[in-house]
C-alpha cells in the first residue's frame, strides 16, 4: 500500500512537470494528497483490522473526502480530486491501468461525468476538440484548467452521459453553453464558420478595447498572483481590473506581514508600469475562507462575516494591507486603484474610503456585489471614487442561489434581466455622478454580454485574459448607440435566454 501511494504520488508529480503552469500546481496538490502520512496511517490501521488493501485505500480516502465536503466551498470542490488519487492507488494495487481518458486516433469531443485534474492537465490538445462534463460548476478544477488552456468546454450538463452513444456527432458551443446532438449539416457548417472566426480573432492585432465608433472600453485582466501579469500583458491587457489578493494567502495560518504584502503588490504594480491596477482588499469568507480572518462557525457563510465585514471586524489586518498597498504605490509607477468587496451601503463605502485616504491611497472604490448597493447607487457613487461590479456574487445574491451549488446553477446567469437592471441602476448612477463603473465578474468575458454591459453604462471590462480576443472583436462590431439598443432590448425580457435572444436580434 505504501509503495502504491508513493508510486502514484511520483506519477502525478511527473505528469505535472510535463503539463507545466497551472496544471502543475493542481497535480502537485494531488501528489501531496497521496503523500499525506495521516492518510497512509489510516489505511494501515484499516489493513491491520483485517480490511484488504484496496478496500482500505477506498475507505480511508472516502472518509477524508467527507471531511473536505463538510468544509464546503473551495475545499469541497477539491474533494473530487481525491477520488482520482484513490482510484489510481487502487489500480496500482490491482495491477491494472490507471483510469483515465480513453485513447483515440481520431479527434473527438470528450463527454465525461467529470475529469480528474490529472486527465484535464494532460489532455491531448491536438485530438480533444471540446470537453463536456456532467458534474462540476464554473469554479471546478475542470473549468479552471480548461479555461487556462483555452479548451472549448461546457460543464454541468446533466444527463448527457446516458444519452449520447459513442460516435454521435455533436456540436459544442461554449459561448452559449449549448450542446447540440445529431446536428444538421447546416448547424455543423455554422459551427465551422464560428470556429474559424474565433481562430481569426485570436490572431487579430492586440488593439485597445473600443467600439466601432471609437468609444474606448479598456480591457483589463483578472489576476490572482504577480506571476499572472506576464500572460495578461502578452494577450493585450490594458491594466488590471481585479487583483484578487486573497488568492495569495489561501493557505496562510496567520495574517501576512506588511513587508511580505508590500513585496507582492510591488511586483504586480511594476509589471503594469504606466497602467491602471485595481486591487481588491482581502475577500475572505464563504468559498474563500482565510484562517486568520474567518474563525467563527457560520450557518450561512455567504451571508455572514465576509469581505469588508470580516475586514472591519479585524481592522488591523485591513490597515496593514492598505499600508502595504500605499508603500507599493509609492515605490512604483502604475496607477493604483483600491476597492473593497461586498460593500452593502453608503456607510460602509464611507468607512472604507476614509480609511484608504488616511493611509495614503489616492483612488478608493467599492465593489458592487450585494444588490442593496445598486438600489442605493446614487449614495454609494457620492462616496466612492469608482465602482466595480462583481457579477458573480451580484447574481448569487440577487437570486439567493449559492453560486457553488449545482442544483441551483440555473439561477447563476448574469444575462437575467434582474441582474441587468441592477447593472443599469449602477451604470446610470455612474454616468450621473461622472464616476467610472466597471465590471470584473465572469459576465465581462461573455462577448455578447460585454456589449450589453457597455450599453448599460459600464465603462471598462475586466476578465480572465483568455477572453480578451473574443470580447475585443465583438466590441468592434457595434457603436455605442447599437450597444444601448441591445441593452434596452435585453432589459425588457423576462428570462436570461430571452435577454440573450433579444440582444442578438436588436
> Given the rule CB under 6 A, which residues bind ligand PEP?
242, 244, 283, 369, 390-393, 440-441
Catalytic position from the list 7, 58, 416, 440: 440
Where in 285-344 is the site for Mg ion (CB under 5 A)?
none
CB of 84 or CB of 393, closer to Mg ion: 393
Site string for Mg ion, 247-286 (x = CB under 5 A): ----------------------------------------
CA dist list (Å): 281 to 18, 303, 320, 350: 35, 19, 11, 15
Closest distance of CB 338 from Mg ion, Å: 16
Is 390 an interacting residue with respect to Mg ion (CB under 5 A)?
yes
Taking the complex as a whole, the smallest distance from the CB of residue 426 to Mg ion amounts, in Å, to: 15
Catalytic residue of the set 7, 58, 141, 416: 141
> How many CA atoms are closer than 13 Å to the CA of 467, on its beta-carbon side?
25
Separation CA 319–CA 418 (nearest Å): 36
- Whether 440 sits among the annotated catalytic residues: the reply is yes
CB of 240 to ligand PEP, least distance (A): 13
Q: Which is nearer to Mg ion, 327 or 439 (CB)?
A: 439
- Interface positions, 341-370, toward Mg ion (CB under 5 A): 369
User: Is the torsion defined by CA of 104, 110, 113, 118 positive or negative?
Assistant: positive
For ligand PEP, the closer CB: 148 or 332 = 148
108: cell is 473527438
Residue 304 burial (CB count, 10 A): 16
Nearest to 171 by CA among 160, 156, 158, 182: 182
Instruction: Tell the smallest beta-carbon distance from residue 251 to ligand PEP (Å).
Output: 17
Which residue, 134 or 139, is less far from Mg ion as judged by CB? 139
Instruction: Identify whether the C-beta of residue 275 lies closer than 8 Å to the C-beta of residue 239.
Output: yes
Q: Is 72 left (phi over 0), alpha (psi -120 to 50) or beta?
A: left
Which residue is closest to Mg ion by CB?
393
Measured from the CB atom, is 229 or 440 closer to ligand PEP?
Answer: 440
Provide the sign of the torsion angle of the four alpha carbons 49, 51, 57, 61, taken in this order: negative
Q: CA-CA distance, 367 to 440, in Å (whole number)?
A: 9
Any residues with CB less than 8 A from the CB of 25 and at least 6 apart, and which?
16
Distances (CA, A) of 323 to 125, 341, 342: 45, 18, 21
Residue 389 C-beta: closest distance to ligand PEP, Å: 7
Nearest residue to 275 (alpha-carbon basis) of 236, 248, 324, 227: 236
Q: CB-wise, 35 or 139, nearer to Mg ion?
A: 139
| Of residues 266 and 388, the one with the C-beta less far from Mg ion | 388
Task: State the SS3 of 424-437.
Answer: HHHHHHHHHHCCCE
**Binding site partner of 348, from ligand PEP, Mg ion, none, Cβ cut-off 5-8 A by kind:** none
All cell numbers assigned to 177: 453553453
Establish if 236 lies at the interface with Mg ion (CB under 5 A). no
The residue to which cell 500572460 is assigned:
231
Contact stretch for Mg ion (CB under 5 A) within 50-58, 232-240, 385-393, 493-501: 385-393
3-state secondary structure 438-482: EECCHHHHCHHHHHHHHHCCCCEEEECHHHHHHHHHHHCCCCHHH
The Cβ of residue 390 has, within 10 Å, a number of other Cβ atoms equal to 26
Sign of CA dihedral 440, 172, 451, 201: positive
Q: How far is the CB of 503 from Mg ion (least distance, A)?
A: 24
Residue 440 binding result from ligand PEP, Mg ion, none, given CB thresholds of 5 to 8 Å by partner type: ligand PEP
Binder of residue 244, out of ligand PEP, Mg ion, none (CB less than 5 to 8 A by kind): ligand PEP
Binding partner of residue 441 among Mg ion, ligand PEP, none, CB under 5 to 8 Å per kind? ligand PEP
Query: How far is the C-alpha of 60 from the C-alpha of 57, rounded, in Å?
Result: 5
Q: Which does 242 bind (CB under 5 to 8 A by kind): Mg ion, ligand PEP, none?
A: ligand PEP
228, 393, 470, 474: which one binds Mg ion (CB under 5 A): 393
Q: Residues 241, 388: contact at Cβ < 8 Å?
A: yes
Least distance in angstroms from the C-beta of 146 to ligand PEP: 17
Question: At its nearest, how many Å lie between Mg ion and the CB of residue 137?
Answer: 15
The CB-of-341 to ligand PEP minimum distance in angstroms stands at 7
Question: Does 246 help bind Mg ion (rule: CB under 5 A)?
Answer: no
Identify the three-state secondary structure at position 370.
coil
Residue 398 interface partner, choices Mg ion, ligand PEP, none, CB cut-off 5-8 Å depending on type: none
Distance CA 9, CA 30 (A): 8
- Pick one of Mg ion, ligand PEP, none as the site partner of residue 276 (Cβ within 5 to 8 A by kind): none
Q: Please identify, using beta-carbon distances, which residue of 266 and 396 lies nearer to Mg ion.
A: 396
Residues of the shown chain interacting with Mg ion in the complex, contacts defined by CB under 5 A: 369, 390, 393
* Active site amino acids: 141, 440
Amino acid at each position: 500500500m505504501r509503495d502504491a501511494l508513493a508510486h502514484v504520488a511520483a506519477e502525478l508529480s511527473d505528469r505535472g512537470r510535463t503539463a507545466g503552469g497551472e496544471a502543475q500546481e493542481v497535480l502537485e496538490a494531488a501528489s501531496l494528497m497521496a503523500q499525506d502520512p495521516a492518510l497512509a496511517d489510516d489505511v494501515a490501521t484499516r489493513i491491520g483490522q483485517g480490511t484488504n488493501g484496496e478496500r482500505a485505500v477506498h475507505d480511508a480516502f472516502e472518509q477524508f473526502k467527507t471531511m473536505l465536503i463538510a468544509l464546503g466551498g473551495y475545499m469541497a470542490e477539491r474533494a473530487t480530486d481525491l477520488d482520482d488519487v484513490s482510484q489510481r492507488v487502487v489500480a496500482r494495487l490491482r495491477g491494472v491501468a490507471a483510469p483515465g481518458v480513453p485513447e483515440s486516433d481520431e479527434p473527438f469531443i470528450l463527454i465525461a461525468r467529470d475529469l480528474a485534474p490529472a486527465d484535464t492537465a494532460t489532455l491531448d490538445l491536438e485530438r480533444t476538440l471540446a470537453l463536456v462534463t456532467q458534474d462540476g460548476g464554473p469554479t471546478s478544477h475542470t473549468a479552471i484548467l480548461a479555461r487556462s488552456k483555452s479548451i472549448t468546454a461546457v460543464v454541468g450538463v446533466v444527463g448527457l452521459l446516458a444519452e449520447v452513444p459513442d460516435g454521435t456527432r455533436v456540436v459544442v458551443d461554449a459561448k452559449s453553453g449549448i450542446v447540440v446532438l445529431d446536428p444538421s449539416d447546416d448547424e455543423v457548417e455554422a459551427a465551422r464558420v464560428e470556429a474559424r472566426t474565433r481562430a481569426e480573432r485570436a490572431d487579430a492585432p492586440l488593439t485597445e478595447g473600443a467600439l466601432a465608433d471609437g468609444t474606448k472600453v479598456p480591457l483589463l485582466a483578472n489576476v490572482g498572483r504577480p506571476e499572472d501579469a506576464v500572460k495578461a500583458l502578452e494577450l493585450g491587457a490594458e491594466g488590471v481590473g481585479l487583483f484578487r489578493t486573497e488568492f495569495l494567502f489561501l493557505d496562510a495560518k496567520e495574517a501576512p506581514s506588511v513587508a511580505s504584502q508590500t513585496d507582492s503588490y510591488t511586483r504586480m504594480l511594476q509589471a503594469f508600469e504606466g497602467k491602471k491596477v485595481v486591487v481588491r482588499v482581502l475577500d475572505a469568507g464563504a468559498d474563500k475562507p482565510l484562517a486568520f480572518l474567518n474563525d467563527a462557525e457560520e450557518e450561512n457563510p455567504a451571508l455572514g462575516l465576509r469581505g469588508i465585514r470580516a475586514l472591519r471586524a479585524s481592522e488591523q489586518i485591513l490597515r496593514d494591507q492598505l499600508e502595504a498597498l500605499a508603500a507599493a504605490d509609492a515605490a512604483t509607477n502604475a496607477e493604483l486603484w483600491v476597492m473593497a468587496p461586498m460593500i452593502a451601503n453608503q456607510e460602509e463605502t464611507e468607512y472604507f474610503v476614509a480609511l484608504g485616504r488616511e493611509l495614503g491611497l489616492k483612488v478608493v472604490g467599492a465593489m458592487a456585489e450585494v444588490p442593496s448597493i445598486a438600489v442605493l447607487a446614487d449614495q454609494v457613487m457620492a462616496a466612492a471614487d469608482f465602482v466595480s461590479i462583481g457579477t458573480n456574487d451580484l447574481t448569487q445574491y440577487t437570486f439567493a442561489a449559492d453560486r457553488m451549488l449545482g442544483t441551483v446553477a440555473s439561477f447563476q446567469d448574469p444575462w437575467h434581466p434582474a441582474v441587468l437592471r441592477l447593472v443599469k441602476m449602477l451604470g446610470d448612477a455612474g454616468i450621473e455622478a461622472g464616476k467610472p463603473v466597471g465590471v470584473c465578474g465572469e459576465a465581462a468575458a461573455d462577448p455578447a454580454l460585454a456589449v450589453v454591459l457597455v450599453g448599460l453604462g459600464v465603462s471598462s471590462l475586466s476578465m480572465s485574459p483568455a477572453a480578451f480576443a473574443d470580447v475585443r472583436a465583438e466590441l468592434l462590431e457595434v457603436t455605442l448607440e447599437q450597444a444601448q439598443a441591445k441593452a434596452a432590448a435585453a432589459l425588457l425580457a423576462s428570462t436570461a435566454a430571452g435577454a440573450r435572444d433579444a440582444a442578438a436580434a436588436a
